[in-house]
Each structure stands twice: as C-alpha cells, then as structure tokens.
Structure 1
C-alpha cells in the first residue's frame, strides 16, 4: 500500500508511467506547430476523400487568423463556431486562437432561444457557420437582432468539391446565403497572404482559449472557462496514458463525434494534432459507413460514446468487416455498460477502454491502464497530475474512506478556472482547497479505482434510500434482447419516488412484459431498487452528441403528473 493513502491509485499505475510526471503546457496553437515541424507533408485531414496535409492546414489557419484580425478579432474578442464535423471547424478554431481571440462553441442542435442566450452571455459578436438549411437561417435571424453582428458562412462542399450528391446531402440541403456588410464568405476570410499579428501569450494558465457551455439540464447553460493551459495539460495527460499504444505521425483517427463537444474537441481534434495523426472527418455517425471506413482506411483509433458502440454491436455487418487495424477504441461522454464493453472488445478484437471526465475537466479525469484488467463498473484511475477524492454528500468537509459513496471531487491543471461571469456558480463548484465538485456520485476502492454510480441530480430517493439509475440500467442491460435503456425517477404515492425504465429492444426481438422483466431483475437488484414501471419504445431521446438523454423523459413524466392532478 502506498504511504500516502490519499494517492492510493499510485500503486495501480503502470510501471513505466508516473502520476507526477511533468505536464507541458503552452499556447494551443503549438500543437499544430509541432506537427508541422515534424510531419509537414503527412495528411492531417481526410474529409469525404479530400485530403489536407499539415503544411496546407497550417497555411489555411494562418490565412484564417489574418482574416479574423481584419474583422476585428484579437485578445478579449469572442468568436462563435456553429459548425459540424468539417475542415471549417479545425481551420476556424486554430485561426481564432492564433488571432488572439477566444472560441465559443455552439451546438447545431441548440434551440434558437438557447443560441440567443449563449450569444448574449458569452458576448459573441462574430459567428462562423455553414450554408446548410439547418444552420444558416437561425444565425441569419439572430445577426443584427442580438449582440451578434457579423457572420462568416462557408459551403459544406468547398473542401470536397468532387463529393457525390449523397455525400453533399449528409447534413441536409444547402440554402441561399445573403452576403452583405454583415455576412461574408469563408473563402473571403482566407483570401489574404496569411501575414497575421502574432500576439505573445505570457500566461497560458490565465489566458482564456475556449468558452465551453455545459449542457444546462437545469437552468441556463453556464460557460466553463478553459484556458490554453487547461487544454494543453489535458493533451499532455492523454499523451502520457496513451503513449505506449499510439505513435506520432502514424495514426489514423476516425472522428465521428461533433467537435463542439469537449470530448470530441480534445480527443479527435487537438490530441490528434499533438500526435500528428490523420483525422478522417465524418459529418455524422452511420454504423455501416463507420465499419467501411475502418476496413478501407485501416483506422487505428476510434473514440466514441456508448450508443455508437451499441449501434455497431447491433449491426449485422460488424462481424463481416476487418477491424484488425484498430489499436484503441475509447468510450467517453457517458457511463459504458459492462456488457457492451465486453461484447464489443470480443467482437472487434480491440479492447474498448473507458475513462471519465467532463466539460469542466477538459475531458480528462480517469483512464484504464492498457495492461490492467478492467474492473466491472469502474472508469479507471486518476490521470497523471489529477487528484480525486470522495466528499460527503451533505457538503461537509473531508474525504470518505474506500468503498463509501459520496461526491467525486477533482483537482489538476486540466480543471476549469471557473464559469464565465458566474462567480456564484464558481464558488458553489469549488472547494476551499481548489477541488471541483463534479456532481457525480461515486466511490474509490483501496487501489484507487473510481466507480461512478450516478449523478447527484439523477439520484432517486425511494422510501428514504438512495437509488442510482445506473445500477438499475446495468442490470437491465444484462437482458439478452435489450439494446438501450434509460432509468429515471417518477413520483410514487407510497415510496415518494420510484424508478421507471424506458427500453429499446434489439431489432427483431420479441417484447417482454413488466412481470417478466421484474422476474429477470429480482436476483440482480435490491428491494429498494425495484422498478415501478417500464415502457418499451422504438427509440430513446439523445443529446446532440448521441448520448442517451433523460431530460425529455423527465419532462414527459412531469407533464403526465400535472395532467393527472389538474
């Protein structure tokens, strides 16, 4: 046992890896500089068959930086990116930072009022988007009628001019764009000599790089402030934990997750730049297309979320494709059901590894060592430089001993400096000694492995007992015909609250009734965890990233209750 009980995970570290290793930080654009210096003619991006080398990407980023500065971007200026998974995002992201500005990420699936809130709250005056009918009209309507004053609009196909009609329509039709003094084209943004003003970055730890808004399941979304040091520290952590698996200049990464999400931004884009990898950008997830790309392009790395791996497991072509090029598949963004992890690893011949992190930790938090035997229900041990402790759920100070459930708290160079213009929320989220209160309920074992049980806000109070939906979901996933499941708490006259399961069955499976499910779960759950109801549905609601979403289900049940009592 390590002498420092608070760092009990040290004994679980691989022999060649140090938890206290140095984590280099600096300006985010140095990730591209380093790739360019070592691999200038390696392909950096493959978008629908069209490739850009690192030399070409750097030239476009420099031209974008110059173009942004001509539009007034510099230190303290916030630029919004309202973009899907296309080269525009990579070029604009790095261009804004090189120009001295700050990136604000916007989800293409946000409601218009959410977009308006983020524009006002983040002080976004300039927005980059595409000519898609699903994107441009929303921003055109807000431009000039809010704080937003200028649009830069690209064409979906300008980086793949020979795209097939099917490829060109992957995200729906394009629409006519009105170019005027408020709206200019992405091509005109790059129409310069790339001679931008290079602002020195004196303190990466204090210089804001990205405003990343949280999901906002309750209340208005908050902007987590991520500095240049937060982002490059997270890349250094990823480099350390994956160093034995991945080799600079040799990896091919399949990027399907949308880049406006922190997990995709870090793992697919920025860490890929650090590794000088070739990134295959897919505008959306399609199981058959993903399987074909892995086989055709000999993909080595595929980061995803649990629903993607569930979808691949359910697809009949998975067993017929050659997936032997895969060296690493990583699941994040949501808890990974153990059943899914084991089945996918067996089928793909590549270990599906799970980690835990969140927007406020710049996506890194824990990892599963490559040579370690995964522990059922655990998301791994703390990444280098991060400390994790379990605090009492009542908010009292101190750390709980191994095995006791409490709130997961984390500190490290990757942890946000706070919430934009929300000193109250920052104070609520941070402990006196600098740990972030994550809102996740979990426990740590004697060897420092972390087990996330649930979110504090998702916890169900049944007859005075704490019931965690994830525990019930894990049990239901063991049923052979269940493909996906979400469990929420509903009002119960006797128990106060009780669990209800929403279930999607595998294609062609015969449905079961509630009594049959209860019988299946009886040996797997405690009496206090037993379901009060279930619903079988053709599909379950998802977030923009593809994670299962409980918010819509909770809203439905709340409305049912209101109608019943009206």
Structure 2
C-alpha cells in the first residue's frame, strides 16, 4: 500500500502493517484453551465458564454436527441471543468445517424462511422459546435438523429452577421439546457427545467461515461471504488498535452487550476476546438499569457499543448510583456517535470513547479514531493497519479520487474485505471494483487524513435542489438539552421533491414544543436544512444493534401520504 497522509498521524507504537495469522478462525479458541485453560472465558447471569470448558463443549458440538451429516461448507444457522450456547455453537460449527449463519432472534417467520432458503442452511441451533417459529417455518425451508437449547441450561442454581416460571411470566410461553430424528436436545448432546471431531482442511483465505446477512434496507438481505482470513485479520487489527487498553495486572473483561448475530459484536467482542483470552460478560438483551448493575459489579474495562446504548445509560435516572470507572476503552460503531454523547460518557467513566466505522462487508471495521493519540470528535478517524481508503466520484473515465475536503463516496480496500455476496454476482460486481469496496457512504477526508461520514448515499435528502445531509442536522438536535434521541429523514413533498422531517424522543421529564425546536435549529442551520416537520415519539424503531431505522420511518410516511391521497 502506498504512503498515505494519515500514516504520519500514527503514533510510534502503532504499526502501519501487521504479520497476520493464516489459520482457521477457531484456532483462537484452541490456543486460549491450551495456554489459559483455567481462565474465565464467559460470565452469564451468575455462571462462569473457563476456556477449557468452552473448548470442550465446542468440540462436542462439532462432533455432533458431523454425526448428523454436516460436512465442510454446509451452512448451520445460529438463532440465539448472547448466551454461552451462542459462543460454543459458533466455534463448534467452524470446527466441523461448516459455515456459521448468524440469525437475528427477532426475525419473523417470513424473514427466517427467506434467510434459511437463501443460505440453504441444513441445520439450525435455536432457543426453546423460538422453536414454535422455527417449526412453523421449517417445512418451507432447506432445514433438516434443529438443535434446541434454553436459557436455563447455563444458569446456576437456583436460577435454573426459577427461570421457567420467569419465562412463563415474560413470554407467556413454555415449550416442551421432544427429541426425534430431526430434533435434538442441546443438554443431551453436551452430556452424551464425545469432545472430539474430524478436523477439516481449511484454506483461511478461500474458505468461508461466516455467511452474514446485511440489513436489507434495499430489497432482500444479501449474504456477505466472510472468510476465516477476513475475520481473523480484522480481529488482529482490533487487537493492535486497543493494545494500550490492556490491564497487565488482570484479565481483560469485555462487555458483551452487542449481539453476536451482528458482525460488529462478533468481531469486536466475541472473536477479539477469545483471541486475547479475555472474559466476556454475556448480556442477552439491553436493559439500561440491569447493564449499569453488571458494569458496577463485574468491572469491564472494554466496552464496544453503539450510540443508543451509551445514550440509554446516560439518561437512566439511577446513573449516579453506579461505579463505571472500570471502563477504559470504548469503540462506538453501527451509527454516527453524537459528539455531546461522547463527551458526557467520557466525563462519567473517565475512559476513552472513540468513534469507528465499518460495514458487514468489511468484517466489519475499517476506520477508527486513535484511542490514546490524536483524535477528532465527529470524525470516524483514520484507516486501520493495512487498510486503504479514498473518496471517489464517477467521472468520464470511471471512478476518480476527489480532492481533499470534497464530498464523494467512501471506498475501502484491505484484507478484511468480503469475498462477495452469496449467489449474487451482479451485486458483488456493483460494489467491488479492482479490489476496492464501494461503501455507499458519502464522506470526505481532511488534509490530515481523517475521514468523515456525511451520510449514507441513499439517505441524502434533495430538498428544492439542495443536498441536505441528515447527520449534520441530527448533531445539532442532539446538542439540545431536552433531546434524548433524534433522527432526520427526507419525506415526499409535492413542491420541494423531498422535505426535511425530524423525529424526536425527549428526555424523561423534559418538555419542548415544535416552535421552540424550530427557533433553536434556525440559529445553527441554513434555512433549507431546517426541518419543516417535527414529530415527537416515545421511542424510535431500531435494529438489534441499536441503529435507528430511518428507512422504516420514511416508509411509514409514504404509507400515510398514500392513505391520505386515497380518501
């Protein structure tokens, strides 16, 4: 890679290039169990597991999958929240030579059918309360086997006895699971399976480890093919970037609130922690009050997260009752991090919170601000080691790099870039150009080499001929003391083509009128950028990782306008 401007910003102890392990991704667990077998690997609702125990159960999983006919390259879905089973399943699938297909537990039957068929998954590992959904879908899919587990399987006594009653109360559901030729009980597998498996010959640079589905904001979700090498290189980049955050006097403790069925949580929490033989605190769902308690008691020092998670903690009424000072380093991803949230979180924890950037197609991280060196609030930082980036526009001779400071599409290149989209050569060809991935994000780079995301290419609003970038307006809205969450979208307008609409969630107990907000935004924004419509809501629709679903709000608006026009 040629010399780039941002290379001069790298601190002396941060290398520009790394020597990468070329091994199957699961080797990280093998090594951790061999070298640190007695170290704590997982903490889950009071229960702890060592690296040796996790490795033994991953081997049993691999053995059992192979015994029911799973072979190298077969796809196996993981339909679980963050639990010990999700970690064990992931590594067990890879050890069996198969491809993991993470699946959001919130998926509807329709979404489940699409993903299983598109991936041609042969087996699925699911939670017992999700079994009715799986059973309704499975006759319409390629699934041959279902392995069923439950939260209580890894709870300590007496929680494991009490939990079924809690499950009945919360979900109004108790599922009785009966084993059969195509239905298998996780607990019995762990009791009866042998901790051994037939090791497959893995080519890390060619063999797919993960089929990770994108959010599907435009059409159906696409399966992103990530190789063992794609994922392992990104983990090693992450390890290098966070090297100064390690506590040499104790084991690193990583907060696992990001879902592992999302590639960000999978890389920045699970794979990273396993590589470092750290302890992972598994959090199956986000509840700000419960998360504060866990941080106070378990003392994590690394906290990869998303803006909505940090916002939720900062706005909890009992925040001051808990000690968050153990937190040393946080990388925020999945959505733009408001500067005001970043600064408040750092004041309260005393740790460093920096913004990073990436995509499912990049395993996922490509950029971040330096954790312990120069950083620029509001920037996504600089490219990671061995990662190149540029700002491009389509010109007469194809893609052309634009001058410093000019807005264009962010393009990235590096060893973490996907192999392509599963069974979709046309989509692959549309985003991969001579080794460069076109991200679909608009941004610019400054004279120091720091990158900035202006907005998603498809989220840019064209109002009355002017280009309006929602993120700029959202930053202003977040600075208002009464605003907890904000998202801006372009909605259809017969005169302007599109007009700017802001959706607002107020802080608890705060009051704010549309007139007051309009006067406030006019102080900081050109008139064509000022929202013409404000809508106050109790909550905003989000993905499982906490990204606000702007597209869902736009679709709701279009539907309302169509219904009004038909009256």
TM-score interval (norm. to shorter): over 0.9
5 Å-filtered alignment, 1:33-432, equals: 33-132=30-129, 135-162=130-157, 164=159, 165=162, 169=166, 172=171, 173-190=173-190, 191-201=192-202, 203-247=203-247, 250-392=251-393, 396-431=398-433
Question: Are the structure 2 counterparts of residues 180 and 363 from structure 1 closer, same or farther at C-alpha, using a change threshold of 3 Å?
Answer: same
Alignment partner of 1:90: what SS? helix
Partner of 1:497: 498
Q: Does 1:20 align with 2:26?
A: no
Q: Residues 174 and 402 (structure 1 numbering): CA distance in 2 closer, same or farther, change over 3 Å?
A: farther
Distance 1:226 1:48, change over 3 A: same
> Does structure 2 retain, via aligned residues, the 8 Å contact 1:488–1:501?
yes
CA–CA separation in structure 2 for the residues paired with 1:50 and 1:167: 17
Alpha-carbon distance in 1 for matches of 2:245, 2:312: 25
1:23 deviates by: 3.0
1:268, 1:303 within 8 Å by CA — same for their partners in 2? yes
1:456 matched to 2:457: yes
Task: Report if the CA contact (8 A) 2:41-2:277 is conserved.
Answer: yes
Whether the 8 Å contact between 2:328 and 2:350 is mirrored in structure 1 is no
- What CA distance in whole angstroms lies between the structure 2 residues aligned with 1:506 and 1:54? 42
Q: Under a length normalisation based on structure 2, what TM-score does the superposition of the two structures give?
A: 0.95
Cα deviations by residue, 1:508-547 (Å, 9 ceiling, x for unpaired): 001222x221210112112221211010111111112222
The 2-side partners of 1:140 and 1:521 are apart by 51
Query: Do the aligned partners of 1:23 and 1:237 also contact (CA within 8 Å) in 2?
Result: no
Q: Is the 8 A contact 1:143 1:150 kept in 2?
A: no
Offset from partner CA, 1:292-331 (integer Å, 9 cap, x none): 1112112111111100100111012222311221111221
Offset, 1:140: 1.1
- Which moves more between the two structures, 312-321 or 58-67? 312-321
Structure 2 SS opposite 1:528: coil
Which range moves more in the overlay, 494-503 or 518-527? Answer: 518-527
Structure 1 Cα separation of the partners of residues 155 and 164 of structure 2: 9
Note the alpha carbon deviations across 1:423-467, whole angstroms, 9 max, x for none: 000000111x21000101111111111101110111111122211
Partner of residue 539, structure 2: 539
Distance in 2 of aligned mates of 1:23 and 1:518: 52
Contact kept in structure 2, 1:157 and 1:168, CA below 8 Å? no
Change (3 A) 1:235 1:205: same
**1:518 has 2:521 as partner:** no
Query: 2:183 and 2:139 mapped to 1: Cα distance?
Result: 11
In the alignment, the residues of structure 1 paired with residue 77 and residue 38 of structure 2 have an alpha-carbon distance, to the nearest angstrom, of 30
Maintained 8 Å contact 2:128/2:177:
yes
How far apart, in 2, do the equivalents of 1:230 and 1:360 lie?
A: 10
Are 1:393 and 1:406, in contact at CA under 8 Å, matched by a contact in 2? Answer: no
CA distance in 2, matches of 1:393, 1:82: 40
Superposition misfits of 4+ residues, deviation over 4 angstroms: none
**Per-residue CA shift, 1:51-72, capped at 9, x if unaligned?**
1101111111111110110011
CA RMSD of aligned residues (A): 1.7
Matches of 1:484 and 1:167, distance apart in 2: 35
The equivalent residue for 1:7 is: 4
Unmatched tracts of structure 2, length 5 or more: none
Deviation at 1:291, TM superposition (A): 1.3
Q: CA deviation at 1:33?
A: 1.7
Number of residues paired by the alignment? 558
Contact 1:225 1:416 in 2 (8 A): yes
Given that residues 305 and 546 in structure 1 are in contact (C-alpha distance below 8 angstroms), is that contact kept between their aligned partners in structure 2?
A: yes
Q: Is the 8 A contact 2:326 2:349 kept in 1?
A: no
Relative distance call for 1:282 and 1:212 in structure 2 (3 A) is same
Paired with 1:215 and 1:394, the residues of 2 have a C-alpha distance of 30
- Unaligned ranges ≥5, structure 1: none
Alpha-carbon distance in structure 2 between the residues aligned to 1:180 and 1:166: 25
The answer as to whether partners of 1:247 and 1:275 remain within 8 angstroms in 2 is: no
CA distance, structure 2, for counterparts of residue 54 and residue 167 of structure 1: 28
Contact 1:126 1:148 in 2 (8 A): yes
Q: TM-score, normalised by structure 1?
A: 0.95
For 2:238, what is the secondary structure of its paired residue? Answer: helix
Instruction: Name the stretch that deviates more: 551-560 or 388-397.
Output: 388-397
Deviation at 1:394, TM superposition (A): 6.7
The structure-2 alpha-carbon separation of the partners of 1:536 and 1:167, relative to structure 1 and needing over 3 Å to count, comes to farther
Q: How much has 1:178 moved relative to structure 2?
A: 3.5
